[in-house]
Structure formats: C-alpha cells, structure tokens
C-alpha cells in the first residue's frame, strides 16, 4: 500500500467494518466465481463481458479477469456494434483516471489500440492528446511517459515520419513549466540522441542546436542549482558523442570552460548567500575537470578535484564513501 494513512481500529469500529465487509465479500466472491465458472465452460459472450466489467469495476488489478475479457473480445469481435471499441477505450479511461498507476489497465489500453479494427492514425493521434491530459495531472507518471513513447513510435511507423523535433518542443514546454521534471529531462536526452543518430538535421542546424542547448543548460542551472535533474542532464551533455562531433576540440574546450566558470559563479553565490558550498556544483566541477583533461586541456594549477572531493566528504556525508573511492582513484 502506498501513501495510505495508518489507522488503528478500535474493537468496536473493527466489528462494524467486518459486518459491512460481509456483504461486499459475498458480492465479490459470487461475481468472481461466476466469471471463472463461465470462463471454464468456454463461454465467450457479451453477457460474460458485462460480468468482467462488474468485477474490474471493483478490482481493476484482477489480471485474470482482464485476460478473460480480452479472450471474449477476440471471440465476439465480428458481432459487436461499431462503437464497441470506442466504449472499450472509454472503459479503460475511467479506470485510468481512478488508478493511474495500475500496470494492468495501461496494458489493456495498449492492447485495445493494437487490436482496434482499421485503426487510422487519427485514433493514435487522439491518444497523444489523451496522454497529454494524463501527464498534465501527474507530470512524472512513469506509465504515462512510457505510454507516450509507445504512441509516438506507432504514429511514426504509420505516417512514415519521425516526430523527434515536435516531441522536443513538447518536453521543452514541460521543462519550462517545472525545471525539476526529471522525466522530461530524460526524454530530452532520448530525443536529442535520436535527432542526431537519425540525421534529422544538417550540419549547421546541428551546431545551432548544440549551441542553443548550452545556453539552455546554463539558464537552467542558474534557475535551480539544487535540483539534480539539470545536473544529471549536464553530466550527460558535456561528455556525449554528439557534442564532441559537432564542436571542434577548441570549441569543445571553450564550452567546458564556460560552463565551469558559470558553475563556480553559482557556487560562490551560494557561499555568499548561505555560507555553504553547493554540493552539486562541486560534483559537476569534478566531472568538468576530468572531461577537460580528457579533451587534452592542461589544468595544472587550476585543478581542484582533490579539494572538491575533500569538501564533499565533509559536506555530503551520506555519500562520503563514493568520494573516498573517487579520491583513491586520483
């Protein structure tokens, strides 16, 4: 059970609850037995479908009943009314609204779409709006993001057209709404990687994109220097193949030094403001120094990794053993 407040029932309340539960248990068990008996008799009819609806209404996690429902649908599919599949989507939507984290419901919805007769791109495009809506209610819903990727992939294959650039606009909007949305930053990595790997841009566009990404990151770290989303993204961005390919080595070193200067500035601001260094700044400075060295840049006296690690051992004691490990590797 997740997020349910603990209650200690008194004997009296427990007695009351048990009395109320008796009827509910009877109804539920009768329905369940009836459905499983019908299934075992090999009955796959619209009446049996109604029975599964009733049970799933009470328990949307009953996957055996979802399975029976799908077997019924496959059997009656030629005899159903035209609006049957729309109703089935509606049925799962009602459930998803109430239980947005139940795997079985998401799974059933995808199955319905995959089996929807003569599904055009319109059906899948509408699904993109549906998932928009669901993500606007919970912008980190793990299932929702996974679902979105599946829908986009499907649309891309139906229309023979990549959607990475449009999707990048979407995640930018989401990040601009809330810079701590790690799911959106994650998706940003996927999309930018796709755009480059699938050669969706010409040389100049690629360079423009990398340069605008650098300023996007810089803005983001100034906006919230305590949030790990943007730092993990930065950690990826500064050392990934795309940036290395698009920038000359001199440009690459300049980019790293610019980011480094900005991170040092942010950290100094924190020291001035709160008297404490910003642990994330220190963690990323270590990565930047390492990356600079790998790019052939001599840090010499400007190298402070050892000092940063010492500070982190004291300032971030939960993870001190990681910093000790990194020190011994120096």
- Choose between 59 and 212: whose C-beta lies nearer to other proteins: 59
What minimum distance in Å lies between the beta carbon of 2 and other proteins? 5
- Choose between 18 and 169: whose C-beta lies nearer to other proteins: 18
Q: What Å distances lie between residue 84 and 3, 42, 176, 247, 328, CA to CA?
A: 36, 22, 40, 55, 65
CA atoms within 13 A on the CB side of 308: 23
What minimum distance in Å lies between the beta carbon of 301 and other proteins? 27
Q: Which of 273, 288, 166 is nearest to 226 (CA)?
A: 273
What minimum distance in Å lies between the beta carbon of 233 and other proteins? 8
Residue 40, both tokens: 């075992």
99 binds other proteins (CB under 8 A): no
Q: Which of 46, 228, 262, 315 binds other proteins (CB under 8 A)?
A: 228
Residue numbers 230-269 binding other proteins by CB under 8 A = 232, 235-236, 240
Task: Find the angle CA(235)-CA(241)-CA(245) to the nearest 5 degrees.
Answer: 125
52 binds other proteins (CB under 8 A): no
41 binds other proteins (CB under 8 A): no
29 binds other proteins (CB under 8 A): yes
176 binds other proteins (CB under 8 A): no
- CA dist 87 and 109 (Å) reads 11
Specify the DSSP class assigned to residue 6. P
Question: Quick one: CA dihedral 262, 268, 274, 279, positive or negative?
Answer: positive
Q: What Å distances lie between residue 177 and 46, 180, 185, 265, 294, CA to CA?
A: 45, 9, 12, 25, 36
- Choose between 228 and 327: whose C-beta lies nearer to other proteins: 228
What minimum distance in Å lies between the beta carbon of 171 and other proteins? 12
Specify the DSSP class assigned to residue 77. T
Residue 102, both tokens: 């139940």
Residue numbers 189-208 binding other proteins by CB under 8 A = 189-190
Taking CB under 8 A as the binding criterion, the range among 18-26, 82-90, 119-127, 203-211 that sits at the site for other proteins is 18-26
φ/ψ of 59, rounded to 5, equals -145, 90
Q: What residue ranges bind other proteins (CB under 8 A)?
A: 1-8, 17-18, 21-22, 24-25, 28-29, 32, 36, 40, 58-59, 61-64, 66-67, 70, 103, 107, 111, 114, 140, 142, 145-146, 149, 180-183, 186-187, 189-190, 227-229, 232, 235-236, 240, 317-319, 321-322, 325
């Amino acid at each position: 059970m997740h997020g349910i407040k603990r209650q200690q029932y008194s004997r009296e309340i427990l007695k009351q609850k048990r009395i109320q539960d008796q009827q509910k248990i009877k109804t539920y068990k009768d329905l369940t037995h009836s459905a499983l008996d019908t299934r075992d008799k090999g009955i796959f009819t619209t009446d049996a479908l109604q029975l599964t609806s009733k049970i799933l209404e009470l328990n949307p996690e009953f996957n055996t009943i979802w399975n029976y429902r799908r077997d019924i649908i496959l059997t009656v599919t030629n005899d159903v009314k035209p609006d049957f599949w729309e109703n089935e989507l509606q049925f799962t939507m009602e459930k998803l609204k109430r239980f947005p984290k139940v795997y079985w419901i998401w799974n059933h919805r995808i199955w319905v779409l995959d089996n929807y007769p003569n599904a055009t791109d319109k059906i899948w495009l509408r699904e993109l709006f549906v998932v928009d809506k669901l993500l606007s209610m919970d912008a980190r819903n793990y299932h929702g993001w996974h679902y979105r990727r599946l829908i986009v992939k499907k649309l891309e294959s139906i229309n023979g057209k990549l959607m990475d650039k449009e999707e990048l606009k979407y995640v930018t909007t989401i990040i601009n709404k809330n810079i701590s949305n790690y799911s959106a930053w994650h998706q940003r990595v996927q999309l930018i990687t796709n755009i480059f790997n699938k050669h969706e841009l010409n040389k100049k566009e690629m360079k423009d994109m990398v340069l605008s990404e650098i300023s996007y990151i810089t803005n983001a770290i100034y906006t919230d220097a305590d949030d790990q989303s943007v730092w993990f993204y930065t950690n990826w961005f500064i050392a990934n193949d795309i940036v290395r390919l698009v920038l000359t080595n001199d440009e690459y070193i300049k980019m790293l030094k610019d980011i480094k200067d900005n991170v040092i500035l942010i950290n100094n601001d924190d020291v001035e403001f709160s008297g404490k260094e910003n642990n994330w700044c220190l963690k990323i400075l270590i990565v930047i120094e390492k990356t600079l060295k790998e790019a052939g840049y001599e840090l010499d006296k400007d190298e402070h990794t050892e000092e940063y690690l010492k500070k982190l051992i004291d300032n971030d004691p939960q993870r001190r053993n990681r910093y000790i490990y990194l020190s011994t590797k120096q």
